[in-house]
Amino acid sequence: MVSTRSRIGTVVTAMDNQRLFLFVALSFVILLLWQSWVEDYGPQPPAEVTESTPATPAPADGEDLPATPQTPEATDTALPFTDLLKSADAIEVETDLFRIRIDTTGGDLRQADLLDYPATTKPDSPPFRLLNDSLPNLFIVQSGLRAASGAEPTHHAVYSVEQTDWRMQDGADTLVVPLVWRSPEGVEVVKRFTFHRGSYVVDIEHVVTNNSGSDWQGREYRQLQRTQVAETGQSTFIYTYMGGVIYSPEEKYEKVKFEEMLEQNLDLTITDGWAAMLQHYFLGALVPATGTAEHYYTKALSNARYVIGMITPTWRTVADGDTGVFSTRLFIGPKLQDEMREVATGLELTVDYGLLTVLSQPLFWLLKFFHGLIDNWGWAIILVTLVVKLVFFKLSETSYKSMANMRKLTPRLKSLKERYGDDKQKLNQAMMEMYKKEKINPLGGCLPILVQIPVFIALYWVLLESVELRHAPFMLWIQDMSSPDPYYILPLLMGATMFIQQKLNPAPMDPVQAKVMMVLPVVFTVFFAFFPSGLVLYWVVNNTLSIAQQWVITRRIEAGGK
């Protein structure tokens, strides 16, 4: 009997205020996000990174080349960065979507400006630079061929080019930029970049013509090289993943963090996969030809650089007098899910919703649907919030009825507490008898809240990860849904709505809980002051709709209704 009463007392104490449970749950979510940010994205100590010993010997002509079985061992000489990333002539390429600089040293893609995505919201803002060949925010694309013998057209080789300025002509669907390399043995390699109008896909081909007098054997590699930096313009309280990703049909989407690259080199063979380097809203991804096996690798280089890439695991032979073509696709651009889905299976997963993808994807579809109707992401967020509230209307109604009934009993509960004082057992027994007599379930407001939390978190990730909201204006002073409110009006409104909700809830009997409740609106106002405006707009609208629903139900219950 004592055990039963003890359990009853525990339940009653825990449910003195169901709304407190919601606030604590939300606090827990924010704590998890903060811990994830610190673990995966927090500031790193400013130390020189020394390359770890590779699983297979590294070639003598550069630490950043993939290994081949025939290559002799070499030591890492920790060369300065400027010696590792040499430059020859710059090739300027402009299409309808890109402004790109290719270096004739290796045919590296050294810079890529996305013309449809300004760096800031200022009218004279330059385009956002995704690829960049200068520290500290280095991100480049490299590719080449390893040869079984003789000279190699790696990304350290110097190519020649007919012209250094290329423009996509009006009416043209493609632009082809060829670079040429010739070996002393008589092997010619044409490295060909093909750009497509309206597409962020770049086709990369190595066309090998063998006139050496004997068979030529080679392997193609492609790799993304970048440094780990904090993204500019992003709130300190917002976590988004920056690092490597690989995809395989077996394991699907897998993150390869920079810390993991430091600990050991990746060593996997995958068919029909891809590799990418991600950052908030944008990515670079290498997609090999389908049906071919590729050896995927990572390296941690000197000067705090990281490489993820792939190389064909077997030698390919081009007979004397023949021509062979090695091809791959590169996606460099914004995380537009529909476009990425057409490029490669699973590439749309780089818009990382985590474990709640199954909920986030329909919410994103609904957000895009409303935007297609009204052409404003702010109003689309409001309409999605309204739909979510309608879906959970009955659950919310159950929760608010429970809270209203608890609030109605608050004076009587206080009288019981004064009567029984510190005798918790008798107090809890009397409270349970009162609940039974009034037909009130003290747990009635808990389950509906628990059911809705995953949906709220899923929508949070949709609003955080969607590049469509980047620099998207709403109205009045909100001209960028992905940035914090410059005047903190939305966070203050959010705090005010939390305070109003607090007044509609039953007052906590515990004075400590009452003090916590008074502080929570202030705490969350400070938190949300650093959140993107789109997220805060969602919470303001959600709270406002909840207040309206709860106020109607509370008035009805207090008037003697049901």
Helix (H, G, I), strand (E, B) or coil at 8: helix
Of 200-204, 299-303, 320-324, 378-382, the one with minimum mean pLDDT is 299-303
Least confident of 365-369, 372-376, 468-472, 513-517: 513-517
Asked whether residue 480 is assigned to any structural domain, the reply reads no
- Identify whether the C-beta of residue 179 lies closer than 8 Å to the C-beta of residue 162: no
**Any domain includes 389:** no
456-494 pLDDT, tens digit per residue, is: 788 888 888 999 999 999 988 999 888 889 999 999 999
Q: What is the pLDDT of residue 2?
A: 40
Range 168-196 average pLDDT: 96
pLDDT the model gives residue 81: 40
3-state DSSP assignment of residue 364:
helix
Query: Does 33 or 68 have the greater pLDDT score?
Result: 68
Comparing 236 with 431, the larger pLDDT belongs to 431
Q: Which residues pair with 328 in a beta bridge?
A: 204, 288
Write down the mean pLDDT value for the chain: 81
**CATH code of the domain covering residue 289:** 2.70.98.90
- Confidence at residue 400, expressed as pLDDT on a 0 to 100 scale: 65
Number of domains within the chain: 1
User: Considering the domain boundaries, does residue 459 fall inside one?
Assistant: no
**Average pLDDT of the segment spanning 207-219:** 95
Instruction: Tell me the DSSP string of 40-51.
Output: HHSPPP--PPPP
DSSP 264: -
Q: How confident is the model at residue 231 (pLDDT cuts 50, 70, 90)?
A: low
Q: Is residue 168 part of a domain?
A: yes
Q: Is residue 198 part of a domain?
A: yes
Rg of the chain on CA atoms, in Å: 30
The answer to whether residue 326 is domain-embedded is yes
Here the tokens at position 107 are 């045919």
Residue 235 lies in a domain: no
> Residue 24 domain-assigned?
no
Element (H, E) at 334: strand 323-334
Domain that includes residue 106, residue range: 87-228+240-352
DSSP helix/strand/coil, 34 = helix
**Reduced 3-state DSSP string for 194-257:** EEECCCCEEEEEEEEEECCCCCEEEEEEEEEEEECCCCCCCCCCCCCCCEEEEEECCCEEEEEC
Is the Cα dihedral 482, 486, 490, 495 positive or negative?
Answer: positive
b/e burial code for range 6-24 (CB count within 10 A of at least 16 → b): eebbeebbebbbbbbbbbe
Q: Are 226 and 140 contacting, i.e. CB atoms less than 8 angstroms apart?
A: yes
